[in-house]
Amino acid sequence: MANVVGAITTSHVPAIGRAIEKGLEKDPYWKPFFDGYPPARAWLAKAQPDVAVIFYQDHGLNFFLDKMPTFAVGAAPEYRNADEGWGIPTVKPIKGDPALSWHIIESLVADEFDVTTCQEMLVDHALTLPMALMWPGGGDWPVRIVPIAMNHVQHPLPSPRRAYKLGQSVGRALDSWPEDVRVLVMGTGGLSHQLDGERAGFINKPFDLMCMDALVDDPEKLTRYSALDIVREAGAQGTELMAWIAARAALTGRVGKVHSHYHVPISNTAAGLLVLESRPAAIARAA
Ligand code: DHB
Ligand code: FE
């Protein structure tokens, strides 16, 4: 049976890609941000996932405003990146896991999620930068991926409750996957930020910290908010928080916090990182 080792949720600001390319990790602007990541890498080195199931958003690379699925699941043998116009280097193709993708898709559809299935899919900074942060060194990443893109770009957005249920359904699919693989769940985006309009630059630290706490022990609390509540509390792009909610909801057993980090700002964004461990997995490793 698949062993879901835990979840990592992190921001995905494009400027991180330029900082990595230019080797700016120790630069005074960047150091407080990058210093948050070694504990996540140390945990990953022990957890040794084979596959990462990644909830993220496509910002216009694979889907655009003319065709915008609410939820889209990748089922490709490999995923390519491409120039998005941010000036960050593209990465090597990333290996997929089509068998697990189709199992997740079948479970989701059986659970009445009408997902878009993608046998070809470009993946943008929201997927590649969190991977680069977890496994530095240029892109020979040690996991296969199942990308799950959520619409946080064009209204109407799904609700936090829907994101939570999506995550729960993916969690059940993982629990019923018969292969003996170690699975990491990831959620990317957030925390509070707004890139345009009158509130450009908006950040809400108390709300972010409340969400990071709730995600550990009481994630359902966040399902009381509507999508528009999240826009108000976290900014228009702060709705990416919903990928964190989905990732947390995919952990079906007991959960413990391994590490968290929060730094304001990176570009226009409150940058957060949360590492959660499935406690049964911890017990299994110790035995
Ligand atoms: C920024 C943040 C994002 O989440 C994103 O997708 C693009 C840009 C930013 O703060 O610059
Ligand atoms: Fe984003």
Q: Is the CB of 193 under 6 A from ligand 1?
A: yes
Residue 280 pLDDT class (50, 70, 90 cuts): low
Task: Tell me which residue has its CA closest to atom 5 in ligand 1.
Answer: 13
Task: Tell me which residue has its CA closest to atom 6 in ligand 1.
Answer: 13
Q: What is the average per-residue pLDDT within 32-49?
A: 98
- Average model confidence (pLDDT) across the chain: 96
Residue 10 pLDDT class (50, 70, 90 cuts): very high
Nearest atom, ligand 1, residue 15 CA: 11
Residue 287, pLDDT above cutoff 50:
no
Pocket mutation for ligand 1, best pick of 133, 195, 241 (most atoms within 8 Å of C-beta)? 195
- Quote the CA–CA distance of 78 and 96 in Å, as a whole number: 5
Task: Give residue-wise pLDDT tens across range 167-201.
Answer: 999 999 999 999 999 999 999 999 999 999 999 99
DSSP bridge partners of 3? 182
> What does the pLDDT read at residue 285?
53
Task: Give residue-wise pLDDT tens across range 71-96.
Answer: 999 999 999 999 999 999 999 999 99
Task: Give residue-wise pLDDT tens across range 96-142.
Answer: 999 999 999 999 999 999 999 999 999 999 999 999 999 998 889 99
Residue 282 pLDDT class (50, 70, 90 cuts): very low
- Catalytic residue status for 193: yes
Residue 239, pLDDT above cutoff 60:
yes
- Quote the CA–CA distance of 51 and 115 in Å, as a whole number: 21
Residue 1 pLDDT class (50, 70, 90 cuts): confident
Nearest atom, ligand 1, residue 240 CA: 4
Nearest atom, ligand 1, residue 190 CA: 4
* Token pair for 133: 């942060």
Q: Is the CB of 134 under 6 A from ligand 1?
A: no
Pocket mutation for ligand 1, best pick of 124, 237, 240 (most atoms within 8 Å of C-beta)? 237
Percentage with pLDDT > 70 across the chain: 97
- Catalytic residue status for 103: no
Nearest atom, ligand 1, residue 268 CA: 10
> What does the pLDDT read at residue 209?
98
| Residue spans of alpha helices (H) in the chain | 15-21, 31-34, 38-47, 98-110, 125-134, 160-175, 205-217, 227-234, 241-249, 279-286
- Quote the CA–CA distance of 72 and 101 in Å, as a whole number: 11
Secondary structure (3-state) at 103: helix
> What does the pLDDT read at residue 101?
98
Task: Tell me which residue has its CA closest to atom 2 in ligand 1.
Answer: 13
Q: How far is CA 144 from CA 79, 120, 184, in A?
A: 10, 15, 10
| Catalytic-labelled residue, pool 125, 152, 261, 263 | 125
What is the Å distance from ligand 2's center to 9 Cα? 13
Backbone CA torsion sign across 223, 44, 103, 71? positive
Asked if residue 251 lies in contact with residue 6, where contact means CB atoms within 8 angstroms, the answer is yes
Q: What is the average per-residue pLDDT within 255-278?
A: 98
In terms of Cα–Cα distance, which of 80, 207, 54 is closest to 143? 54
Q: How far is CA 129 from CA 8, 240, 242, in A?
A: 13, 15, 18
What is the Å distance from ligand 1's center to 165 Cα? 26
pTM above the 0.75 mark? yes
Angle value at C-alpha 209, between 208 and 213, nearest 5 degrees = 120
